[in-house]
Chains A and B, each alone.
Chain A
């Protein structure tokens, strides 16, 4: 090569450099996510907090067989899957190129081991009582044998159970206390590097051998910020959950705002084990007295939608449009109360059996998708109930205190809320029946309607989508008639991100895993 050629080659290559560094992947080597709490535990099944943000922090490290994107289920460690009705078995064809972070291949034996290990050392997120066993049935095939048909299997197990490396965990007999760095070896797109408990920060680094492709960023960092919006505006973070009223400001500053479907519901919990709340007529009087629209307008400046009394929103594939509705009708509420023997006192408030009738309403600030959310609903509900003549003692308490009182049935009415309502309709079982969620404070734990309980059991066993849909429809109807708890509204759930990073964050259809309404889907950093 002559000196002149060398000169032109060098000139050509140096001219290309600016273009090379301006492509998105070259610019984006790090992404920062802001969170107001910071501390969600260590990212493995036994050490993360049992809340959505804790699971999401683990999901960067550990993959599942199936995952979800904005349209629904997509392959992950399993390339494909099918249900064998005769054998009551789910068969998964595994991804042959998947590797653990230490370079070893992910095998069907790892999957079978994971199931057996979780049966021995239970992990609350995965309910395995319907699964008999799992076997490696081929070099890249694993089969799960069920004890009985179980419709939520794909979401509950396939899409939620993190697959563990057998060579790490087979020697561990106390997983809760296992602190070795190997406890974070996974097959996910990022390698866990650090969690600073004091600062509430996390560091992950890209796993270059990831079977779905190299992640778009080299480092993923979680930063703790009391006000995630400020962190976003000041450039300290690239993605954060936001309050709806901040939307115009953030859009003005060039942020991209994304909105989730109704994956979270605010509810009025009712102690239906004590009189007069145990009478369905009284609960129906309450629902006529409460205006969902007014709560949304007055307490949330219109940022939300009235909830279906059957729990599932119109965004859900199995929402029943014929679910009973109750108009805001104070007159009807009074009529019902008076038919039950309540009498108006001279002060306009009801008396029962000659004594003033009062109810206690508990309210507290609630964490929504990992962010604390102040509560003004209690005040509006108190006003609405007093408008029909029910005297209300409103008590604002710290959330764990309210939760403890609800859990122990030491309450009358309480404002509460939960997510997960965009996922599998198994959420109906958990939010209605004590058998599925005795430990939950959001569950109505209502056992008084046999048809409802039978349907809840049956819908889990029904593998035919159409027949299951009919059952889920009927469950919503009965739930809305019985009203063991009253669904109030679905708040707007928004996040904002910096689009200049070259990453398009999105909300997952049905929520991550079991319905987590957080837009931190690992696929946003892969595809």
Chain B
């Protein structure tokens, strides 16, 4: 009983910490965009053909400042109202949810594939430690890990889109193409191929090296020796006993990467003109669209927090020892 109540208290305390972190994030999402030099009216009208007089400028500034206070921001958040974008005169939530599916498809898909591939190949490489294949893979992945995402994107774009013309150079689908459902899906896959390959090639080496190293450590443990001594089939030892225990750091990396996918794919989204939250944030910063910046920042930080919470719950399932941390 006492143990249980202690556990519950620890969990409540843990949730309270998350709540506190959420509060800090809300404050930061409001404050950070406002620390940037410049403002929306200057950014929008600075190089415009519209030359504002003093009076017009003041009117514009007043219009965009009318609902800017922190208290208003909090009250709106309580009503699940994320405000309206200055530049696009649209609800921020609607803009985020228009962009989110594309980010999920590109970044989420790339993370998933790169993590699965990295894990399986990493496990297999560790199992064949010191073989020529393993050494070549480790060398190649160490090199690939050092190649910046941007360089990879430029090379892939230059080769497969500009030179060979196998894939489109930009976008997520041919805009307004009159295609059947099958045709549209094929068109989307055709557009997704290059940016997703870039991200997979960018994430895969890290996942591979992590899984391989983690697996190598686990393979040195005594319980593996015991499992082998019991005469269990090799595949069962490799995956059920060893790989399961090597999975934890890979899951952590997957979670953290997934949480940072908004900011992590800005470069690739920009180079391939792929829609998504990164592009939305990039454009919002350029135009100093404060409600949209704070909306995307809050959304992505909430995602980091939610993923962390989910990871903790997942740890307990993957490795029951983690559950005793409470």
Residue on B nearest A427 in the bound complex, by CB:
B51
B53 to chain A minimum Cβ distance, whole angstroms, is: 6
Tell me, yes or no, whether A39 is within 8 Å of chain B by CB.
Answer: yes
Given contacts A197-B95, A201-B175, contact A366 B47 (CB under 8 A): yes
> Which of A198, A225, A367, A403 lies at the interface centre, i.e. has the most chain B CB atoms within 10 A of its CB?
A198
Tell me, yes or no, whether B226 is within 8 Å of chain A by CB.
Answer: no
Residues from chain A with Cβ under 8 Å of B68 in the complex: none
Tell me, yes or no, whether B283 is within 8 Å of chain A by CB.
Answer: yes
Q: Give the distance in Å from the alpha carbon of A50 to the alpha carbon of B47 in the complex.
A: 9
Tell me, yes or no, whether A132 is within 8 Å of chain B by CB.
Answer: no
Residue on A nearest B172 in the bound complex, by CB:
A199
Given contacts A41-B87, A200-B275, A404-B39, contact A49 B49 (CB under 8 A): no
Tell me, yes or no, whether B280 is within 8 Å of chain A by CB.
Answer: yes
B174 to chain A minimum Cβ distance, whole angstroms, is: 8
Tell me, yes or no, whether A297 is within 8 Å of chain B by CB.
Answer: no
Q: Is the CB of A203 within 8 A of B37?
A: no
Q: Give the distance in Å from the alpha carbon of A38 to the alpha carbon of B99 in the complex.
A: 14
Given contacts A198-B99, A226-B271, contact A403 B43 (CB under 8 A): yes
Q: Is the CB of B162 within 8 A of A233?
A: yes
Tell me, yes or no, whether A210 is within 8 Å of chain B by CB.
Answer: no
Choose among B49, B56, B279 the residue that contacts A122 (Cβ–Cβ < 8 A): B56
Q: Give the distance in Å from the alpha carbon of A405 to the alpha carbon of B42 in the complex.
A: 10
Q: Is the CB of B52 within 8 A of A41?
A: no
In chain A, residues 1-58, which have Cβ atoms closer than 8 Å to a Cβ of chain B?
A: 32, 36-39, 41-42, 46-47, 49-52, 55
Tell me, yes or no, whether B98 is within 8 Å of chain A by CB.
Answer: yes
Residues from chain A with Cβ under 8 Å of B48 in the complex: 50-51, 124, 440
Q: Is the CB of A440 within 8 A of B169?
A: no
Given contacts A39-B283, A236-B170, contact A223 B51 (CB under 8 A): no
Q: Give the distance in Å from the alpha carbon of A49 to the alpha carbon of B271 in the complex.
A: 23
Choose among A177, A223, A403 the residue that contacts B46 (Cβ–Cβ < 8 A): A403
Tell me, yes or no, whether B71 is within 8 Å of chain A by CB.
Answer: no
Given contacts A197-B98, A407-B46, contact A443 B51 (CB under 8 A): yes
Tell me, yes or no, whether B322 is within 8 Å of chain A by CB.
Answer: no
Q: Give the distance in Å from the alpha carbon of A367 to the alpha carbon of B88 in the complex.
A: 19
Residue on B nearest A55 in the bound complex, by CB:
B49
Q: Is the CB of A440 within 8 A of B175?
A: no
B203 to chain A minimum Cβ distance, whole angstroms, is: 21
Count of chain A to chain B residue pairs whose CB atoms are closer than 8 Å in the complex: 185
Q: Is the CB of A420 within 8 A of B56?
A: no
B262 to chain A minimum Cβ distance, whole angstroms, is: 14
B49 to chain A minimum Cβ distance, whole angstroms, is: 5
Q: Give the distance in Å from the alpha carbon of A227 to the alpha carbon of B270 in the complex.
A: 10
Chain B contact-residue range equals 35 or more
B128 to chain A minimum Cβ distance, whole angstroms, is: 42
Residue on A nearest B175 in the bound complex, by CB:
A201
Q: Is the CB of B171 within 8 A of A440?
A: no
A211 to chain B minimum Cβ distance, whole angstroms, is: 26
Choose among B36, B46, B49 the residue that contacts A420 (Cβ–Cβ < 8 A): B49
Tell me, yes or no, whether A114 is within 8 Å of chain B by CB.
Answer: no
Given contacts A198-B276, A227-B170, A230-B162, contact A124 B45 (CB under 8 A): yes
Q: Give the distance in Å from the alpha carbon of A367 to the alpha carbon of B174 in the complex.
A: 26
Residue on A nearest B284 in the bound complex, by CB:
A39
Choose among A46, A219, A225, A416 the residue that contacts B169 (Cβ–Cβ < 8 A): A225
> Which of B39, B41, B171, B173 lies at the interface centre, i.e. has the most chain A CB atoms within 10 A of its CB?
B171
Q: Is the CB of A221 within 8 A of B47?
A: no
Q: Give the distance in Å from the alpha carbon of A198 to the alpha carbon of B85 in the complex.
A: 13
Residue on A nearest B52 in the bound complex, by CB:
A439
Residue on B nearest A235 in the bound complex, by CB:
B165
Residues from chain B with Cβ under 8 Å of A182 in the complex: none
Given contacts A124-B50, A230-B162, A400-B46, contact A47 B272 (CB under 8 A): no
Choose among A51, A125, A179, A199 the residue that contacts B175 (Cβ–Cβ < 8 A): A199
Tell me, yes or no, whether B130 is within 8 Å of chain A by CB.
Answer: no
Choose among A36, A50, A222, A403 the residue that contacts B49 (Cβ–Cβ < 8 A): A50
A110 to chain B minimum Cβ distance, whole angstroms, is: 23
Residues from chain A with Cβ under 8 Å of B176 in the complex: 194, 201, 203, 219, 221
Tell me, yes or no, whether A165 is within 8 Å of chain B by CB.
Answer: no
Residues from chain A with Cβ under 8 Å of B43 in the complex: 400, 403-404
Q: Is the CB of A199 within 8 A of B171?
A: yes
**What is the 8 Å Cβ interface bit string for chain A, positions 168-204, against chain B (1 contact, 0 not)?**
0000000011010000000000000010111111010
**What is the 8 Å Cβ interface bit string for chain B, positions 11-28, against chain A (1 contact, 0 not)?**
000000000000000000
Residue on A nearest B47 in the bound complex, by CB:
A418
Q: Is the CB of B37 within 8 A of A400?
A: yes
Residues from chain B with Cβ under 8 Å of A162 in the complex: none
Q: Give the distance in Å from the alpha carbon of A42 to the alpha carbon of B45 in the complex.
A: 17
In chain B, residues 160-203, which have Cβ atoms closer than 8 Å to a Cβ of chain A?
A: 161-162, 165, 168-176
Residues from chain B with Cβ under 8 Å of A400 in the complex: 36-38, 42-43, 46, 286-288
Tell me, yes or no, whether B245 is within 8 Å of chain A by CB.
Answer: no
> Which of B48, B90, B172 lies at the interface centre, i.e. has the most chain A CB atoms within 10 A of its CB?
B48
Tell me, yes or no, whether A317 is within 8 Å of chain B by CB.
Answer: no
Tell me, yes or no, whether B54 is within 8 Å of chain A by CB.
Answer: yes
Q: Give the distance in Å from the alpha carbon of A399 to the alpha carbon of B38 in the complex.
A: 10
Q: Is the CB of B276 within 8 A of A51?
A: no
Tell me, yes or no, whether A136 is within 8 Å of chain B by CB.
Answer: no
**What is the 8 Å Cβ interface bit string for chain A, positions 236-262, against chain B (1 contact, 0 not)?**
100000000000000000000000000
Q: Is the CB of A224 within 8 A of B53?
A: no
Choose among A46, A224, A416, A437 the residue that contacts B170 (Cβ–Cβ < 8 A): A224
Tell me, yes or no, whether B127 is within 8 Å of chain A by CB.
Answer: no
A93 to chain B minimum Cβ distance, whole angstroms, is: 28
Residues from chain B with Cβ under 8 Å of A50 in the complex: 44-45, 48-50
Given contacts A41-B88, A197-B88, contact A439 B51 (CB under 8 A): yes
A112 to chain B minimum Cβ distance, whole angstroms, is: 23
Given contacts A200-B275, A401-B38, contact A437 B283 (CB under 8 A): no
Tell me, yes or no, whether B273 is within 8 Å of chain A by CB.
Answer: yes
Q: Is the CB of A231 within 8 A of B47?
A: no
Beyond contacts A404-B37, A438-B52: 19 other A-B pairs, Cβ-Cβ < 8 A, are: A38-B273, A47-B88, A51-B44, A124-B48, A196-B175, A198-B99, A198-B279, A200-B275, A201-B171, A203-B176, A221-B175, A222-B175, A231-B170, A401-B36, A401-B37, A404-B39, A437-B53, A438-B53, A515-B49
Q: List 15 A-B contacts (CB under 8 A).
A: A49-B44, A52-B49, A122-B56, A194-B176, A196-B275, A233-B162, A234-B165, A236-B168, A236-B170, A400-B42, A404-B38, A436-B53, A438-B57, A439-B54, A439-B57
8 closest A-B pairs (Cβ-Cβ)? A439-B52, A437-B51, A404-B38, A439-B57, A124-B50, A225-B170, A403-B46, A201-B175
